[in-house]
Amino acid sequence: MEMKSTVKGYEFFEVSSAMQKAIRRNDPKLAGYFALELYHSGYAQYVWKRLLTVSAEDCYGETITTEIYNLFRSFMLINDGRPDLDKGRIFISKAVIILCRTPKCRDTDHLQNLIYDRNNVPKKEIEEILQAVREENLPIPEYAYDVHTKKGRYMGKTKKDFFLEENQALKPSVTGLFGDYLKD
């Protein structure tokens, strides 16, 4: 399988992971850097899909996904319906900042995985270590390597580690409905 890379030589899925985890940790500088790295690498549509997923998976509140979707619609309007045009990245930046500042709660993801799918968590094969990022770029933070990345799986990261670490890292956070499931 061919590895996707970004314009600065990052591995695509590591950048995606770093963006989402920086949002969870209320780090708009790092989250924005990686969101725009994906955007400038030709993955604008993907960035929006990921930001919408983050809004549903990691954020507390009933209207945040609608707010992010409306920013996406604004982005598309500025680009005449073509996400490949190089306009409107300001809407990506605004979405990242809003998501970073929004209180975090992973109830929707926990409902799926800890309540419904709790006995069906798939085991994935350990794969090769990923190519290191170039020194002149911001490094991928260690917290980006989890069960969802090849390097994280190589490091032995598990779903349990993911749920515990990511829940503890939410900033700002709101106590979730499924907190009892996240005790050691």
pLDDT computed for residue 36 by the predictor:
96
Question: Quick one: pLDDT at residue 136?
Answer: 55
Tell me: the pLDDT tens digits for 21-30?
Answer: 999 999 999 9
* Stated pTM of the model: 0.69
**pLDDT for the residue numbered 115:** 67
- As a whole number of angstroms, the distance between CA 33 and CA 18 comes to 10
In a domain, 1, yes or no: no
Domain span at residue 57? Answer: 12-182
Tell me the CATH number at 64: 1.20.272.10
Q: Is residue 61 part of a domain?
A: yes
What is the predicted pLDDT for the residue at 2?
Answer: 67
Residue 161 placed within a domain: yes
84-112 in b/e form (b: 16+ CB < 10 A) is: eeeebbebbbbbbbbbbebebbbbbbbee
Phi-psi region of 47 (alpha: psi -120 to 50; beta: other; left: phi over 0): alpha
What tens digit of pLDDT does each residue of 148-168 get? 889 889 999 988 888 888 888
What whole-number distance in Å separates Cα of residue 114 and Cα of residue 170? Answer: 18
Which regions in the chain score pLDDT beneath 70? 1-2, 83-85, 114-136, 177-178, 182-184
Residue 167 lies inside a defined structural domain of this protein: yes
**Amino acid identity of 110?**
H
Element spanning 21, H or E: helix 12-24
Quote the CA–CA distance of 23 and 17 in Å, as a whole number: 10
Q: Is residue 2 part of a domain?
A: no
pLDDT at 158: 87
Under DSSP, is residue 183 helix (H, G, I), strand (E, B) or coil?
Answer: coil
